[in-house]
Amino acid sequence: MMSKITVSQYEDKAEYLRQWRARNPEKCKSYSEKRDKEVNREKAWLRRYGVTREWYDTTLENQGGCCAICQTTEVGRKGHTHFHVDHDHSTGEVRGLLCDLCNRGLGYFKDDGPLLVQAAKYLEKHK
C-alpha cells in the first residue's frame, strides 16, 4: 500500500496539487464536470446583486444587446462571455450591464460622477 503524501512533503502547494492531479485524473474529471460555470455565475449574480438570469436577459435586451455606456456588443477581455452587472458600491443598487472596459473605468474613477465629468473636460481640452 502506498503511503499518503502530504502537502508538507512538497516545497509548495502548487507542486503538491500538480502531483495529486497526475495521480488522480478520474477525480479531476469528475470535479470539473460538476462545475457548471453558467450555474455558478447565476448563483453569484443572485447572491451578490439579487438578480436572476431572467433579469440579465431582459436588461440586455432592453439595452439593445450592448454595453449601457459605450454601446459595444463585445463583452470585453478574452474568455469573458457576459457583460458585468454594474451596481452602486455604496447602495448596492443594480444599474445595468457594462462591458469590461466601461466597468473597470467606473471602478477606477470610484463611481465618482464629478470626477468623471472632470476627466471628460480634460479630454475635451486636450483634443
Residue 94 lies in a domain: yes
Residue 6 lies in a domain: no
Counted domains in the chain:
1
Say whether pLDDT at 52 is over 90. Answer: yes
Residue 2 lies in a domain: no
CATH of the domain at 43: 3.40.1800.10
**What pLDDT does residue 100 have?**
95
What's the 3-state SS for the chain?
Answer: CCCCCCHHHCCCHHHHHHHHHHHCHHHHHHHHHHCCHHHHHHHHHHHHHCCCHHHHHHHHHHCCCCCCCCCCCCCCCCCCCCCEEEECCCCCCEEEEECHHHHHHHHHCCCCHHHHHHHHHHHHHCC
Q: Which of 7-11, 53-57, 79-83, 97-101 has the lowest mean pLDDT?
A: 7-11
Q: Model confidence at 19, in pLDDT bands (50, 70, 90)?
A: confident
User: Range of 116's domain?
Assistant: 11-125
pLDDT (tens digit per residue) in 61-70: 999 999 999 9
Predicted TM-score (pTM) above 0.85? no
